[in-house]
Chain A
Amino acid sequence: MLVYALVAGLLFGLYFSLVGIGLNLVFGVMRIVNLAHGDFLMLGAFIAVGVSALAGFDPLFAVPLAFVVFVLVGLVLYYLLVPRLQGSVDPEMLSIILFFGLSQVIEALTTIAFGTSERSIDSGELGKILAGLRVHVFGGDADGPVELLGQSFPTSWVISAAVSVVAILLVYVYLYRTRLGTLTRAVMSRREEAFATGINVDRVSAVAFGIGLGLAAIAGVFAPFMFGSVTPAFGEDATVTSFAIVVLGSLGNPLGTALGGVVYGISYMVVQTYLSSWADLLPYVLLILILLLRPSGLLGRRVRVA
């Protein structure tokens, strides 16, 4: 039972790293608390439902589509909202409220357009283009579970976890191996100095914002498989969970999120195994403990004041 919980937790946790990473990128670069993060996940899920149900394609094709669409949406939203927000007295606090408003708008528009019912995608659809390959590597039959360490896990979890790993690696490559990424890290660590050295902070931030929303939308593509189904109201819970993960890793350090996600996933599954009814309490207690004992997160710098 413990081994099963650990492996399930690892798969679940890798996916949750992807859920949180976009949120953290946005906070790290802009000091903006994107309370509408979960709503972009929800929109990504609706894109996947559209790609699968309407066009009949493998939902994996929704990944690039969702990413491109939401990078563009992010760029537009950035220039509409953020420069104005940054001009105010307390942008970090006000961003919480601004993006809460945005999340309300998104939920309302989605409800008006699609109704309130649960929506999902048949779990056999995900990765059907890869089914042949999978049977070759793992054995078993094309629409059955994946066998790992002699136990069976949902195929969709393995695919979600794999895509998450790839996405996180790409974020790493972007941040550490590209010029724009280097500038992004400069803005993250010393925003004022970046201004002074002539970095186009707005452009760097806008791209980071777009990528942040794009990553959220990619995570959303897998939400119907990881959470069973989604509704327009799904965003709220997803946002709160994302915060737990991000803070666990360390707020402002996107790569710490990968660790935060795995810690979250494993501890969640272990508690669910042995103390099911308390499982939902755990992330919050963990979050508070981490904040108090190591407020910078597992991998962060010091943030305490006075």
Chain B
Amino acid sequence: MPSALRHLLFIVAPLLAVFAILPSVYENHLMLFNFVVFLILAQGVNVIYGFTGYLPFGYVGFFGGGAYGFAVMVMHLHASAPVAVVVAGLAGVALGLLLSPLLRLSGAYFAIANLAAALAVLHFVANPALETITRGPYGVSLTATFNPNAAYAAALVVLALTMGAVVFLKNSRFGLALQSVREDPVSAAMAGVSVVRMRVIAWLASALIAGLAGGVYAWYVSVFFPDNVFSGTFSIFAIVFALFGGVATIVGPIVGVLLLYGVYNLIGFTTPQYFQLIYGLLIMGLVLFLPAGLVSLATRRGWHVP
């Protein structure tokens, strides 16, 4: 059996099945929905950071852009929710194209520029001068499309697409070439790899993923302010989850989200006062003692991790 098929069959399909069944067992649907959203975002970070080494510190810009793309479609064009979600994804891609010159920057420069870009989009969308289009800082209320069950299903579809993309990267020559660019761009370019074009493709794919996620998020929550959907915690969480599990793998980000977001919800419920403290310490411990993520525990022993 080709490894791509094996990955789809033994990792992606069970994950989707579990999250499709869970809502009938566990009643806090929004928590499950958030798990799905963070799975999507962590894998989106994986696509760009894991395979190219660009850390998208302002990843939430695409997410928020998608959410507002959805909102504008529903408010002004009275589009149906699925159409609006597609537009949300395209809004992400459009933003990605606009920001693609940032890929010329390296390392921390890119991360910081990306963060600035996300904040710029936030302040743009939230500007009262755009009140007639985005409702500015006053927030949107999308009662017309309110349907959490359908939005949850849509989130699963987006998750499936995202997982498909990661499986493709992991098993294709394209993905391998990307990783070779990450390790050593100069030799890759000499070997005939079109470095710039490939990076842009990965960047746009990752923007599309976040845009779609923003769209389904807007569909699900229906009432939100710019601060909500552009909250920096989306970027940080997605990055930390992906790193915690281990990037450039299929299972790493999944493990990261399930464990860390699980812990987040657990300590948030039981020891609220020390929530932020414990979380901060956990993140620091991760970087210092497990910088290559949980999967490195296995790879160090020589086991293969998909």
Residues of A within 8 A of B (CB): 27, 31, 33, 81, 84-85, 88-90, 92-98, 100-109, 111-112, 236, 240, 243-244, 247, 251, 277-278, 280-281, 283-285, 287-288, 291-292, 295, 303-306
Contacts and interface: CB of A to CB of B under 8 A. Distances in A.
Interface stretch (B83-91, B122-130, B152-160, B250-258): B122-130
B62 to A, nearest CB: 15
Contacts of A280: 123
A240 B284 CA distance: 20
A92 B113 contact: no
A130 to B, nearest CB: 38
Contacts, number: 147
Interface of B: 49, 53, 55, 57, 101-102, 104-109, 111-113, 115-117, 119-120, 123-124, 127-129, 185-186, 189, 195-196, 232, 236, 239-240, 243, 273-277, 279-284, 286-288, 291-292
Given A103-B280, A285-B120, A303 B106 contact: yes
- Greatest chain A CB density within 10 A among B116, B236, B286 is at B116
**Chain B interface secondary structure, helix, strand, loop or mixed?**
helix
A101 B277 contact: no
B128 A108 contact: no
A306 B195 contact: yes
A108 B284 CA distance: 14
Contacts of A107: 276, 280
B242 to A, nearest CB: 10
A232 to B, nearest CB: 10
A83 B189 CA distance: 33
B292 A89 contact: yes
A284 B117 contact: yes
Given A88-B291, A292-B101, A105 B127 contact: no
Contacts of A102: 280, 284
A23 to B, nearest CB: 11
Nearest to B291: A88
A247 B104 CA distance: 15
27 contacts: A88-B292, A93-B49, A94-B287, A97-B239, A97-B240, A97-B283, A97-B286, A101-B281, A102-B280, A103-B280, A105-B284, A107-B276, A108-B276, A109-B277, A111-B276, A240-B115, A251-B109, A278-B129, A281-B124, A287-B113, A288-B117, A291-B105, A291-B112, A291-B113, A303-B106, A304-B104, A305-B185
A33 B111 contact: yes
Contacts of B53: 90, 93
A240 B116 CA distance: 8
Contacts of B186: 306
A243 B108 CA distance: 11
